[in-house]
Amino acid sequence: MRYTPTIAPRPHHRVVEAVLRDELALFHLDSRRLHLLNGSAAAIWGQLHTADTIGEVTIGLGDRFEVDPHSIRADVERTIEQFRADGLLRIDDRVISPAPRADMWDPPQGRVGAPARGSFAALDARVGIVSDDEEILATVERVLGPLRCDDPPAVTIEVVAVDEFSWTVGVGGRAGATIGSRLSAVLRVISEINHLAVASVPDDLVFHSGAVSDGDQAVLLPAASNHGKSTLTTALVADGLAYLTDEAAAVTAELSVRPFAKSIALDPGSFPLFEALVPPCAGGDLAKALASREWHVDPVRVGTIAGPAPVAAIVCPHWRAGASTRLSPVAPSEALHLLLGETFDFAVGGQPLFERLVRLVDTVPVFRLGYSDLGEAVGAVRAVLSDPTGVHVSRGSSRGGSDVGRGAGAAPRAVEGPCGDASLRTASRPRP
């Protein structure tokens, strides 16, 4: 339903907003599209929260900018139409309340065939594992060993053999998904642990990210899969920094990152870089199959475990074969666009978590790091951590040298709005 020329639409209840320097950032929780509005477009948007008619919008803007309301009405209507086309508005007069803040961390409990042999702390989740397959259970327990705790489990993951060729993996009494191999069942349990960890901290802003600390402050290393995140995290810990996580970095309201010291997961491409971290030979064929697929390394074999630490910098790594080492600062608006792609779904936290993300990119320096030489990448991250507002430049490498310097990446595509100097920029970010 389109608005009439006199009725002003309201902002969509699934759109969250926060001021980022001289722009207003809007993010649609369902489409995961980011929109950046300049001052004029933000003024029109702000009027839509309270004005009942287009006339009230133009009068409010006329008073603010000291212009004749009639002279700007056509531009205002075209800008509102742009908002509508981008899915930012609800056009009818129904009262639509935001979805209730039902805790994601409320898994139902069901029948468990046997008591869990312990509990594992995945952020605020306390998880037990049970299975009628002893080798699956032993393999999972070895992987989760660094998370073992004394608290009783609040939710249980159950792995049950259906027949000789299939297993089910159920969480909290829910019907289990059918898995076609024992190795896949182990990998599914590990994935479920990570999901439970993220769901257990709905008030935290959680990134798909590694994180390390020098004891006083932390650097986040958010990146998509296969971009070298865990590899760089491992190298930094081996170089003397303390380990926080390689998977889910939970940032609190104080912009401090919480430890989630799970096993570090390394893919085969990283195996030659860390030959000393080959998994122990204990275990049967299943453990060997897992080790050929990915290594799960107890972080204490690499270095020390960190406690909570304030975020001093964010470095987004991207490994590419043969690439020179290049560290480039990212402007806050582009950093917001970049980091939205590496946040876990914060639809439950909504507005407060979006405001926290905006505050983070506005107060903490963000960098892109392209690299192929792991040693140079470690040096670049250490330089940032020692002086987040300065940049160390180093040169000379058999792979073409390093260029640790200035220069932000491309901004989201620009979409010019029709209301004078009003404009908005939009970009989509995928779910991690």
| Dist CA 201 CA 251 (whole Å) | 10
Per residue in 178-204, pLDDT (tens digit) is: 888 999 999 999 999 999 999 999 999
If you count DSSP H runs as helices and E runs as strands, how many of each does the chain have, helices first? 10, 24
User: What was the pLDDT predicted at 410?
Assistant: 36
Span 398-402, mean pLDDT? 41
The answer as to whether 104 is a domain residue is no
Q: Which residue has the higher pLDDT, 274 or 8?
A: 274
177 and 228 part of one domain:
no
The boundaries of the domain holding residue 387 are 205-412
For residue 285, the model assigns a pLDDT of: 87
d(CA 209, CA 316): 9
Greater confidence, 308 or 422? 308
Token representation of residue 127: 């998880």
> Position 313: which residue type?
A
Mean pLDDT throughout 138-165?
Answer: 93
Arithmetic mean of pLDDT, 386-400: 54
CA distances from 303 to 47, 58, 259 (A): 54, 61, 14
CATH assignment of the domain containing 142: 3.40.50
Decide: 208 and 340 in contact? Cβ < 8 Å: no
Q: In terms of DSSP bridges, do strands 264-266 and 309-319 run parallel, antiparallel, or are they unpaired? A: unpaired
CATH code (residue 59) = 1.10.10
Give me 13's structure tokens.
């209840």
pLDDT at 70: 86
pTM score: 0.83
> What integer best gives the mean pLDDT of the chain?
84
User: Could you tell me which residues are beta bridge partners of residue 415?
Assistant: 424
- Structure token pair of residue 287: 């453990």
Helix (H) or strand (E) holding 48: helix 39-48
Q: How far is CA 309 from CA 194, 211, 214, in A?
A: 21, 10, 9
Answer whether residue 85 is part of any domain: yes
Q: Is residue 392 part of a domain?
A: yes
Q: What is the pLDDT of residues 299-334, one digit of tens each?
A: 999 999 999 999 999 999 999 999 999 999 999 999
Per-residue pLDDT of 45-104, as tens digits, reads 999 998 888 888 988 898 888 888 888 998 999 999 999 999 999 865 433 333 434 444
Quickly list DSSP for 246-310: SSEEEE-TTSEEEP--PPEEE-GGGGGGGGGGPPPS-S-HHHHHHHHH-EEE-GGGTSPBP--EE
189 and 211 both lie in a single domain = no
Comparison of pLDDT for 27 and 164, the residue scoring more: 27
Confidence of residue 218 (pLDDT cuts 50, 70, 90): very high
**414: which DSSP letter?**
E
Same domain, 137 and 242: no
Residue 424 pLDDT? 55
Cβ atoms of residues 143 and 299 within 8 Å: no
Distances (CA, A) of 28 to 9, 11, 93, 331, 340: 16, 11, 20, 21, 11
CA distance 137 to 112: 14
Last residue of a domain, one of 175, 199, 223: 199
